Amino acid sequence: MSTILLSVKPEYADRIFRGIKLYEYRKCLPQKQINKIIIYATFPTMKIIGEVNVIGILSGSRTAIWEKTKKNAGISRVKYREYFKGCKIAYAHQLENAITYDVPKTLEDLGIAFPPQSFIYIGE
């Protein structure tokens, strides 16, 4: 099992840590199986603010994944459809046990120079 650092917009990161957003949607998956996501909140926060466990991965058509996850999506259907526009397959990391760090970390704290465009493996 692996851990990844994922760039997430602050509004969605906040919803993850408040337990409103229990799925993190992505257009592609890491090649390695992951069990933890460390969350880097993008501009204007620009800090590593916490982590969350991954308990499963869903994949399927955009419509099928929305129907399975919409109650705990943490985003609107419009935003969901915009994100997956042109994609035939949608992926959703199923999340639980989100922990906010008492003191946010910088990328430099993890030896990283730039935020990931998508994700990077941590501790590999």
Q: Is 123 within the bounds of a domain? A: no
Is 114 part of a structural domain of the chain? Answer: no
Inside any domain, residue 118: no
The answer as to whether 13 is a domain residue is yes
**Residue 20, SS3 per DSSP:** coil
Name the burial class of residue 89, with classes exposed (0-12), middle (13-18) and buried (19+) by CB atoms within 10 angstroms of its CB: middle
Q: 124 lies in a domain?
A: no
45: number of Cβ within 10 Å: 15
pTM, two decimals, is: 0.93
pLDDT of residue 87: 95
Instruction: Write the CATH number for 25.
Output: 2.30.130.30
Cα gap 29→9, rounded to integer Å: 18
Domain that holds residue 66: 2-102
Model pLDDT for residues 53-74, shown as the tens digit of each residue = 999 999 999 999 999 999 999 9
**Distance between CA atoms of residues 27 and 83, nearest Å:** 8
Residue 100 in tokens = 């906010």
Q: Confidence band (pLDDT; 50, 70, 90) for 30? A: very high
